[in-house]
Amino acid sequence: MPAIGITGGVSTGKSTFCQCLRQILPGARFFDADQAAHDLVGLQEVKQELVNEFTDAIFSQGGDLNRAALRAIVFQDAAKRKALENILHPRIRRQWSVEADKHRTSPEFFFADIPLLYETNGENLCDRVVVVACSPEIQLANLMRRMGIQRDAAAAMIKSQMSLDEKIKRADHVVWNNGDRSVLANQATSLAALWGQEKWTK
């Protein structure tokens, strides 16, 4: 079965869309790039690379990563953001490409939730790409509420990513998350039915 990439902008509803797919396709396998990144920073070799690049100021005395401090650095400095991506993204890419290959002979779908899919050329590893999109106003409000940050900070985070319009242009499928969860679930159901009718070959 295919490897399908799920991407979009920050706070456009990718995780919610994946939850809908999990309910519709309970046997499907999922890879979560954000969770992979969370796990990676606990590895000693990754910690050392982060310290080398950002100093140990981004870690607490107990050795835990201060994500807010790191986020403040990388969203204000494009070079630092690139450095962080160079530490994490090759490792994440290896993980999910291995998982995708492993499940190509499975009768179940494989979904990879990769926020920076296009930025890292991850679409080359996918049979299809779904972009989860919403209006700029909703995206901004979602991010401010989720992160507990002010409008300017949220706008800067959104601006640091590839534009949602560009991702939409590249997508095989676009789902819109301007309504409530049931609207997103209906779109997930329609896509699952469409994919179920296709004859997948590689």
Check pLDDT > 90 for residue 106: no
Q: With cut-offs at 50, 70 and 90, classify the pLDDT of residue 63.
A: confident
Average pLDDT in the chain: 93
Q: What is the structure's pLDDT at 105?
A: 85
Residue 43: pLDDT over 70: yes
Share of the chain above pLDDT 90, in %: 83
* pLDDT at residue 174, rounded to an integer: 98
Q: Read off the pLDDT of each residue in 103-120 and give the average, rounded to a whole number.
A: 92
pTM beyond 0.75: yes
CA distance 34 to 49: 19
Confidence at 201, pLDDT banded by 50, 70, 90:
low
DSSP state of 179: S
Question: What is the token pair recorded at 45?
Answer: 């070799």
Is residue 100 within 8 Å of 128, Cβ to Cβ?
A: no
Q: Please, are residues 143 and 157 in contact by the beta-carbon 8 Å criterion?
A: yes
Q: 95-131 burial, b for 16+ CB within 10 Å, e for fewer?
A: bbbebbeebeeeeebbbbbbbbbbebebbebbbbbbb
55 CB-contact burial (10 Å; exposed 0-12 / middle 13-18 / buried 19+): exposed
